[in-house]
Amino acid sequence: TVYQVFWFPENAYQGGIAKILADYKNNEDSFNANDYRLKLFNHQIKDSVWDKIPIIGSKIKNIRYFFSQKKALLKELINDKDAIVHIQTSRKWTFFRDLLLAKAIKKQTGNPILFTIHFAELNKILYGNSLVRKAEIKMLNRYVDKVIFLGNATRDEFISAGVDEGICKVLYTFHHYELDEKPQKIYEPFKLIFMGSLDERKGIIDLMNAMLKLSDYNVQLNICGGEISENIKDKFLSLQSQLGEHVKFNGYVSGENKLRLLREANLFILPSYGE
């Protein structure tokens, strides 16, 4: 069994990780053909009054979640000694919490553990405190069998920081779409499309600034994404106003609407700082 371990809190934004896990699930036959059984392990906890305490409430919820998730996963692994635990992780507290989970699993069951880090740049993934960072690297080397990165640059940063090169692998993110017909390449206007989280690291502000230089051309930018990050919201709305009909904000898109927008686009563009 390959346990895909992740946490999508109910009603939370689901981005690239959700899409990758959906692709795994949609290709479950490939796992079965190689004698692997795929299991999605998205543990949930009930809300508590403690979670509503200002400032520290979210931290309390994360701590409660760690102990609840660990208990539930270990309960399953006790009866599944040959299972592989594939943890889908991110940055900072999420990354540190998942390292503690890996440590608990390795010590109590010895199951092989894979980490896929869905973020880029070592300094944005690990904590800045040198002692905490050393502990994180030590746990990676000791309790994780393979660390999967989305690109070579982040992989090389981790190796330079002391992570064993032998456990570091790169697996590029893929998105597979079946289009029943050839895309209709209509150039009036020429349509660009951006899909991703609306925050600074995805480069959306850079893209909108670039669009200002194309104001004399018949070009339209379709922006697809969920909630706009607070630290760029004012700038985003200002640029949206300046661009007028040259930009269209579609919000979060999925399913057939997402495929339709991709079919109609002439160019997909993702000026991310980490991908």
- The predicted model gives 7-33 an average pLDDT of 79
> Do 103 and 135 touch, CB atoms closer than 8 A?
no
Nearest-angstrom CA–CA distance, 191 and 259: 14
Which pLDDT does position 237 carry in this prediction? Answer: 95
Percent of the chain past pLDDT 70, that is, above it, reads: 92
6 or 167, which is more confident: 167
Closest CA to 122 of 167, 88, 86, 92: 92
Average per-residue pLDDT in the chain?
Answer: 89
The pLDDT, as a whole number, for residue 14 is: 63
Average pLDDT over residues 78-105: 93
pLDDT band at residue 59, thresholds of 50, 70 and 90? confident
What pTM, to 2 d.p., does this model score?
0.79
At residue 210, the pLDDT reads 96
Task: Say whether pLDDT at 183 is over 60.
Answer: no
Give the pLDDT band of residue 119 (cuts 50, 70, 90).
Answer: confident
Tell me how far apart the alpha carbons of residues 102 and 70 are, in angstroms, rounded to a whole number: 9
**Residues 234-240, mean pLDDT to the nearest whole number:** 96
pLDDT band at residue 185 under the 50/70/90 scheme: low
- pLDDT the model gives residue 184: 61
Report residue 215's pLDDT band, with 50, 70 and 90 as the boundaries: confident
pLDDT given at position 8:
78
Q: Please, which residues have CB within 8 angstroms of residue 8's CB and are 6 or more apart in sequence? A: 14, 17, 18, 42
Among 45-54, 116-125, 203-212, name the one with the lowest average pLDDT. Answer: 45-54
Integer angstrom CA distances of residue 119 from 41, 122, 131, 182, 264: 21, 9, 22, 33, 29
Q: What pLDDT was estimated at residue 206?
A: 96
pLDDT at 190 over 80: yes
The encoded tokens of residue 267 equal 């160019």
